[in-house]
C-alpha cells in the first residue's frame, strides 16, 4: 500500500513535468514570435521611413460591365463603362467612359484569384493623369504573385531614372468591378507605339517601317496570322511583331534584318554590332535585367523596337513580379538542361545566362567595360530608387491592409514565391524585404562589375 508521502511525490513529479512542458511550449512560442518579427521586419534599416510615412488614399477606377457580366477570359472583350474618382487633380475624375475589357496575363490568370485586365476605351483619355497624354489602351496589373506590389513599379522607375526612351508610365489605384472592391492595382500604359507614348510610324505597306518586337515563347498561339511572328536563325524562341504588320513582305524584311543583328551580336565584334544595334540601350537593358534577376529575360516579355531606317533598340521593360528576390526558380531548375542559377538570392548572374544576346555580349570585354562604367554612373539613381520605393510602398500600408483583407494570401505561398518571402506576414515586412534585397543586389553587382572598370 502506497504511503501518502509516495503519492505526494508522484503528484509533485507530474506537476513539475507539466510545468516543464509549459515552459518548453512558452519558449517555442517566444522563439516563433521572434522569428516572425525577423521575417517581417528585416534588419530595420528602413524603419524610419516606415514610421514616418504619410498614408495616402489612392484614386479609384470603377468598371461596370454590360448587364454585370463576368470578365471570364483573356480572349473576348466585353462592353463596359469606366469611372474614376478621388484623383489627384479634379480634371482626371471621369464618369461613364465607354469601352471594352478582358482578362490578361498567363500564369497569373491561370493560378491567381486576383486577376489582371486589359482596357480599350472608345476615346483617347489620360487615365488618372498617367503618362504624357491620352490613349485608348491601358492595363490593370494585379501584382497577385508578389505581396509588396512594388516590383513592377520599381523596375519601371529605375528604367525611367536610367533615361530609357521606352518605359510604360504607371499609377497605383483601387479597382472596383460592378461595385465590388478588387484591391490595389497598378494602372499602366500598354506596351505599344502611340502619339503620347513612343511615337514611331508603323503604318503602311512599305517594309522599312517601325517595328515593335517581343521575344515570346507564346507568339505562335497568341498570333492570328503567320506573318505576326518569326524565328531568328537557330534561336528556339520566336519573336512576335506587336506593332502593325500587313503581310509576308514586312515579316520577311524584319526577320532578315533581325537575323543580321543576331549574327552580329553573336560574333561579338563591336563594329558589326554598332552598325545595327543601339549599344547604349543594350547596356542599360542588361543592367536592368541583371539587377532584377528577371526570369523571363530569355523567353518572354522582352521587348525591342526599330525606327524606320534606324537601329535595333532595347526598351519597354515589362513583367517583374517574379523577379527582385521573388522567384524560387524551382520550376526552372527541374527543367531538362536548365542552368542551375540562384534566382532568389542577391548574388550570381541570371540575365547573362538566360538571354542568348546577353550571353554573347557579356562574354566580350569591351561590352562589360561599358556596363561597368554605366553602372558606376548610376549610383545616385539607385539610391533615389530605394528611397522612392520606401516612401511609396510604406505610404500605401493602410490601403494594402485593405487589399489583403480582400485577398487573404499573406503568409500563404504564391506560385514560385521563395519560402522566406512566404513567411513574411505583414505588408510592411514585404516592402522591407524588397528594399533590403535591392540594396544587397546592388552591392553585389557593384563588386562584380568593379573588375571591368579602368584602373
Q: Can you point out the beta strands (E) in 126-169?
A: 135-141
> Of 358, 360, 350, 299, nearest to 323 (Cα)?
350
What pTM, to 2 d.p., does this model score? Answer: 0.90
> How many residues appear in the chain?
455
State the pLDDT at residue 6: 52
Please state, in angstroms and rounded to a whole number, the distance separating the CA atoms of residues 371 and 286: 8
Percent of the chain at pLDDT exceeding 70: 90
Residue 400 and residue 427 in contact, taking contact as beta carbons nearer than 8 Å:
yes
Q: Please write down the long-range contacts of 72-81, taking CB distance under 8 Å and 24 or more positions apart.
A: 72/103, 73/102, 73/103, 74/102, 74/103, 74/104, 74/105, 74/109, 74/118, 75/102, 76/102, 77/101, 77/102, 77/120, 78/102
Place of cell 536563325: 233
State the pLDDT at residue 49: 86
Backbone angles phi, psi at 212, to 5 degrees: -110, 125
Instruction: Reduce the DSSP state of residue 97 to 3 states and report it.
Output: strand
State the pLDDT at residue 32: 47
Which parts of the chain sit beneath pLDDT 70?
Answer: 1-44
Burial 371-388, CB ≥16 within 10 A → b, else e: bbebbeebeeebeebbeb
State the pLDDT at residue 21: 58
Percent of the chain at pLDDT exceeding 90: 83
| Dihedral Cα 64, 65, 70, 73, nearest 10 deg | -120
Q: In what order do the strands lie in the sheet with 312-314?
A: 229-230, 239-241, 211-215, 302-306, 312-314
> Cα 44 to chain center, whole Å?
25
Residue 295 and residue 327 in contact, taking contact as beta carbons nearer than 8 Å:
yes
State the pLDDT at residue 33: 45
Place of cell 488618372: 128
Contacting residues for 192 by C-beta, under 8 A, at least 6 apart: 137, 198, 212, 242, 243
Residue 389 and residue 431 in contact, taking contact as beta carbons nearer than 8 Å:
yes
The mean of the pLDDT values for the chain is: 92
Amino acid at each position: 500500500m502506497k504511503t501518502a508521502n509516495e503519492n505526494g511525490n508522484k503528484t509533485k513529479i507530474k506537476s513539475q513535468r507539466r510545468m516543464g512542458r509549459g515552459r518548453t511550449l512558452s519558449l517555442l512560442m517566444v522563439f516563433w514570435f521572434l522569428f516572425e518579427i525577423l521575417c517581417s521586419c528585416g534588419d530595420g534599416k528602413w524603419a524610419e521611413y516606415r514610421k514616418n510615412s504619410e498614408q495616402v488614399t489612392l484614386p479609384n477606377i470603377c468598371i461596370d460591365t454590360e448587364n454585370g457580366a463576368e470578365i471570364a477570359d483573356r480572349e473576348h472583350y466585353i462592353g463596359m463603362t469606366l469611372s474614376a474618382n478621388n484623383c489627384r487633380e479634379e480634371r482626371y475624375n471621369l464618369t461613364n467612359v465607354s469601352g471594352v475589357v478582358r482578362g490578361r496575363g498567363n500564369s497569373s490568370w491561370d493560378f491567381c484569384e486576383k486577376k489582371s485586365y486589359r482596357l480599350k476605351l472608345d476615346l483617347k483619355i489620360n487615365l488618372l493623369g498617367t503618362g504624357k497624354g491620352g490613349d485608348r489602351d491601358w492595363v490593370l496589373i494585379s501584382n497577385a504573385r508578389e505581396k509588396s506590389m512594388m516590383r513592377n513599379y520599381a523596375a519601371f522607375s529605375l528604367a525611367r531614372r536610367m533615361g530609357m526612351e521606352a518605359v510604360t508610365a504607371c499609377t497605383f489605384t483601387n479597382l472596383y468591378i460592378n461595385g465590388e472592391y478588387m484591391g490595389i492595382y497598378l494602372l499602366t500604359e500598354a506596351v505599344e507605339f502611340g502619339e503620347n507614348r513612343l511615337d514611331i510610324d508603323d503604318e503602311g505597306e512599305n517594309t522599312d517601317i517601325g517595328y515593335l518586337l517581343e521575344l515570346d515563347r507564346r507568339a505562335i498561339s497568341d498570333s492570328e496570322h503567320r506573318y505576326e511572328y518569326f524565328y531568328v536563325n537557330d534561336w528556339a524562341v520566336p519573336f512576335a511583331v506587336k506593332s502593325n504588320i500587313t503581310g509576308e513582305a514586312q515579316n520577311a524584311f524584319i526577320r532578315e534584318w533581325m537575323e543580321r543583328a543576331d549574327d552580329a551580336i553573336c560574333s561579338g565584334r563591336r563594329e558589326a554590332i554598332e552598325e545595327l544595334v543601339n549599344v547604349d540601350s543594350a547596356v542599360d537593358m542588361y543592367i536592368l535585367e541583371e539587377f532584377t534577376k528577371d526570369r523571363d529575360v530569355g523567353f518572354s516579355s522582352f521587348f525591342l523596337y526599330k525606327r524606320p531606317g534606324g537601329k535595333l533598340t532595347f526598351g519597354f521593360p515589362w513583367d517583374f513580379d517574379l523577379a527582385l528576390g521573388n522567384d524560387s526558380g524551382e520550376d526552372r531548375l527541374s527543367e531538362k538542361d536548365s542552368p542551375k542559377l540562384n534566382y532568389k538570392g542577391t548574388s550570381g548572374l541570371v540575365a547573362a545566362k538566360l538571354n542568348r544576346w546577353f550571353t554573347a555580349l557579356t562574354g566580350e570585354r569591351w561590352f562589360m567595360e561599358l556596363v561597368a562604367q554605366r553602372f558606376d554612373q548610376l549610383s545616385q539613381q539607385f539610391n533615389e530608387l530605394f528611397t522612392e520605393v520606401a516612401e511609396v510602398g510604406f505610404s500605401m500600408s493602410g490601403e494594402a491592409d485593405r487589399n489583403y483583407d480582400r485577398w487573404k494570401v499573406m503568409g500563404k505561398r504564391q506560385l514560385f514565391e521563395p519560402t522566406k518571402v512566404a513567411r513574411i506576414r505583414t505588408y510592411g515586412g514585404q516592402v522591407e524585404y524588397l528594399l533590403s534585397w535591392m540594396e544587397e543586389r546592388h552591392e553585389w553587382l557593384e563588386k562584380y562589375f568593379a573588375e571591368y572598370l579602368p584602373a
